[in-house]
Structure 1
Amino acid sequence: MKKTAFVFPGQSSQRIGMLTDLYRESERVRHTFEEASDAVGLDIARICLEGHHGSLQDISISAPVIVTAGIATFRHLQSQFGITPAVMAGHSLGEYTALACAGVFTLEEVLPAVVFRSRLAQRVMEEEQGVMTVITKLNISEVEELCRHMRRRGGKVWTSCLNAESQVCVGGREADLEILEQQVLKMGGSLRRLIGNAPYHTPLMSTMIEEFGNYLQSCQLRTPQFPVVANVSTRPYTAFSIIDNLLLQLQHSVKWHHTIDYIQRQHIHTFIELGSGQILSRLLRQHSKTIEIYNYETAADRNRLASSLSQLAEVSA
């Protein structure tokens, strides 16, 4: 197998019916859901397969569901194909999934951590009236300049996720973000407000840093077994940078566009998206036409991956 990157999505990847086929087919996936349910006191399988839209918009529920989906698909991939990743990366919340799959957290540790993170973020969202919006059809520099212009006038808005050259998330106070959104529309951009999302990856999250940092200090964090590229530095984690990177990630932009650049510079052009949905697969296709992408939740892509591995085995035999 070519050198391969495993990538894990974050918020907005959840949906009713996620991982239905894999759950029905795989005892390993079902067991992972059971472990997750025990870890956080939620019926993860029922939420994924039957849950209503409202529950999946509650970040303290969607966060453990999203991370569980990533871990379950990673375990299924390992059991079916035994592929060792050359590198891993997770988008926003997905960074916790990547770290868990790399052995930094156990499932029983990571799920309560992301629930606690989400509850602190909900408090920030209420206190600061914080929200997030996805902007498309404008480039990164244009959106960054709009945010700087707003801040010079006292507004509290920042770029929060640099997803692609023409897709940027912006977070901040709702009243300020509404003004920025009008400017975006005047410039020909498009908008999509993220319902129920806290203003992650902006300085508004600074009020939860001490409390969440203390929580992470109480966790038994381990050295990553595989390289995991951090959202903010776009460089691999070390055993000594885990807490610092996770706290930086709360207050600073997710540099996803730059993360993919870094991975490609390591001569890695094959990516497997684990977890639910195809958010990262779509971003990867925007990023480069030369990237080979497998979306693991999709049966057709799992079959394509199996065929590719079979052909490689025949060549090397």
Structure 2
Amino acid sequence: MEWTGLIIGFIFGIILQRGRVCFNSAFRDIFLMKDNYLMKLATFVLALETIFFLFFAQMGWITLNPKPLNWLGNILGGLIFGFGMVLAGGCASGTTYRVGEGMTTAWFAAIFYAIGATMTKSGALSGWVKWLSKFNVTVEHSSPLYVEKAGPTLATVFNVNPWVVGLIFAVILLIYTFATKTTPRSSKMGWKTAALLLAILAPFAWMASAATGRNYGLGITGGWIGLIKSATTGTKLSWEAIEIIGIIIGALVSALASKEFKLRMPKNPITYLQVMIGGLLMGFGAVTAGGCNVGHFLTGIPTLAISSLIAGVFFILGNWFMAWILYGR
């Protein structure tokens, strides 16, 4: 069933490329330019996913699996990942789909993202992750919508039915999304369409992934780690690793179809060094935080996971700080 990752990734890659979906840009643009176009996409997709995940779980099609809470890892890793995405010129998903567009800086950022994540997860820095795991917090979930033991959520914190806090959370996001003015922007795929398609894809991705034994939804970091492991040890490609291949192929096909594929190189070669450093920081930060902008922000927050909410906040703060250092001063 791992092959379903290729289909999910292919669709994911098309949506990312056509919608120009990059969370680095979403966070940075609203801070530097007061441009909320991509942030509206982000809040809309989170609202929809929250409802869709709860519905799929209610129907028994998926079982939600919030990431463990780790205050130190979520905060520190979130900040470092935020720093890295600005230096790399893209978030985990943005960098991945741009590999398929022919952006050479994304190639280097992605390779070093994979290296940084693998070193931290199972290489020279794995001792750090092992030590950090001592601070993981999980709780017993009484709701059948969740696995029996996983990270705490807004529902467990307030001791209410997940639907109650989920709907309140979604409504708050929808109020911001539609009650505030949106920065105009020309795009092949509008932000509403891109958000809706991502939100529809997300629960089906969870179903497909869970069928292979990986009880989680869309992800990026584990996929890049899986590709490195397969290339170096010959191990079988995981669902998430095959998803990465699908994203790149989907973005490539989309870019070719829209005549947007082009080998692009920076004017200043030093940019390659910057994106490599950014990739390493993203890889280290993602593993330290327990997830990237896809694993935590796009997939984890809609499960109402406290860990993902904290990591998401610090992704944004780290992004803003590095954007201020590089462009805002």
TM-score range, shorter chain: under 0.3
- Greater strand content: 1
TM-score by length of 2: 0.27
Output the TM-score relative to the length of structure 1. 0.28
**Structure that is richer in helix per residue:** 2
